[in-house]
Amino acid sequence: MDAVLISGSPSASSKSRTLLERAQAQLEAVGCSTILIDLATLSADALLGRRTDDQLRSAVETVGRAQVVVASSPTYRATYSGLLKTFFDLLPQDCLVGKIGIPILTGGGPWHRLALDHSFSPLFTSLGATVVNGVYGHDGQFKNGPDAALLERVDRAIDDALAVARASSEAMKP
Ligand SMILES: Cc1cc2nc3c(=O)[nH]c(=O)nc-3n(C[C@H](O)[C@H](O)[C@H](O)COP(=O)(O)O)c2cc1C
């Protein structure tokens, strides 16, 4: 199974990316092949549609090929980052049909955790993905890295996603 992981934080020491890397390790542990796309390293002009860029085009194609799409973001102004939004805006309509989406969001506190269900999950479903329960962590859960409960939450989200992916590929068999 192919999985793509998309980091939507501009931060060099990103907490949400740490959770994304945990998700990547869990997917690889069960034999998935993974690619991590760090949106902060892509051309801002290309993300804003001011010019074309091979790296960005390749990132969009990678998403199109994956069966599992995991995206992480910091909470900015009560929703996911603008960086993540610029990338999702460039994905073709319906390009996530048949794929499993997993949103991972971190915030400064627990106040905006509903953004996971109210805005981040709909970002995936607007492109056709089936979304499993995502993960919300807040900065208080990071002390020299994420705490055990948060890591377990990521692991469970990956387990859920793989179970749904396997069930839907079984259902497709003649
Ligand atoms: C511009 C900006 C806006 C933010 N807005 C919110 C917010 O609305 N709610 C919240 O809980 N945290 C907010 N935060 C805090 C970040 O979401 C939080 O520190 C997050 O864990 C950072 O993730 P990262 O390290 O992956 O970038 C904001 C931070 C910045 C820099």
Q: What is the pLDDT of residues 64-118, one digit of tens each?
A: 999 999 999 999 999 999 999 999 999 999 999 999 999 999 999 999 999 999 9
pTM of the complete model: 0.97
Helix then strand count (H, E) for the chain reads 7, 6
pLDDT at 20: 98
At 68, the amino acid letter reads: V
The residues spanned by each domain of the chain are 2-172
At 120, the amino acid letter reads: F
Q: Which residue out of 36, 70, 75, 113 has the highest number of ligand 1 atoms within 8 Å of its CB and is therefore the one to mutate? A: 75
User: Tokens representing 96?
Assistant: 């996530």
User: Tokens representing 135?
Assistant: 């993960």
pLDDT at 122: 98
Q: Which fold has domain 2-172?
A: Rossmann fold (3.40.50)
Which residues line ligand 1 at a C-beta cut-off of 6 Å? 9, 11, 14-17, 74-78, 106-109, 111-112, 139
Q: What is the CA radius of gyration of the chain?
A: 15
Say if residues 30 and 104 touch (Cβ distance below 8 Å). Answer: no
Measured in Å, residue 81 CA sits from the centre of ligand 1 at: 9
Q: What is the pLDDT of residues 154-173, one digit of tens each?
A: 999 999 999 998 888 778 78
At CA 165, angle to CA 162 and CA 166, rounded to 5? 85
